[in-house]
Amino acid sequence: MKIVLLAPPGAGKGTQGHRLAEHFGARHIATGDLLRAEIRRDSPLGGQVATLVARGDLVADDLVLEVMIPVVRDAVRTGGYVLDGFPRTLPQAQAAYEAAKDIGAVADVVVYLNVGQAELVRRLLARAQVQGRADDTAEVIGHRLAVYAQATRPLLDYYADRGLVLEIDGEGAVDAVNAEMVRRLSDVVPSATTVPMRKDARKPS
């Protein structure tokens, strides 16, 4: 199973991506986690993206592709992927599609988690209090949502033209949203291999 999760910041991509990956026996690949790991390692790439992440800006397409393509290639060899936060721009999506065709990694489906802006802001501010993330201040949140609307949301049309979009209401409880996603994904890709979810994966987060 090869899934792209498309959603604004705060919609629950991380939580739902992890659960979907476990259910379908795929690898959860979160762009933000990979970029923050580069920053923590103080790698040359990490130095380039640190300032951008702190401001809530998008990282340059070529840098993101440099990080993501090798990871996606490896994931396809071991059960597929659930992409969380990639692609984020149309050029990224187009470049990723060309690269994916060469390695048999083209997405089966794009899941769009639809969550209203007021709920997104509430969730992100709550997360900031719990996790103490420097990139979740009110000012940065507003900027991130504006960047998403301008640069990432247009991907819906790109993927819809390819007949890949599966829209899910993401404002419900975590378990309910996950159950709806799994049910509808099983209908879309009925031949997908599934694996039993661990008991701890069913607990609300």
pLDDT tens across 107-154, in order? 999 999 999 999 999 999 988 888 776 667 888 889 889 999 999 999
- Tally of CB atoms within 10 A around 22: 19
pTM of the model: 0.82
What percent of the chain has a predicted confidence (pLDDT) above 70? 90
Enumerate residues 6+ apart whose C-beta is below 8 A from 55.
Answer: 140, 143
| Mean pLDDT computed over 156-175 | 95
Token readout for 40 is 């923590």
> Of 29, 34, 92, nearest to 60 (Cα)?
92
pLDDT tens across 57-103, in order? 778 888 888 889 899 999 999 989 999 989 989 999 999 999 899 88
* Cα distance between residue 61 and residue 58, in whole Å: 8
Token readout for 186 is 């099983």
| Mean pLDDT computed over 190-199 | 42
Chain-centre distance of CA 38, in angstroms? 18
pLDDT at 51: 79
**Residue with the larger pLDDT of the pair 110 and 187:** 110
Q: Given this structure, which CATH class describes domain 2-190?
A: alpha beta
* Cα distance between residue 189 and residue 81, in whole Å: 14
> Of 135, 138, 136, 53, nearest to 88 (Cα)?
53
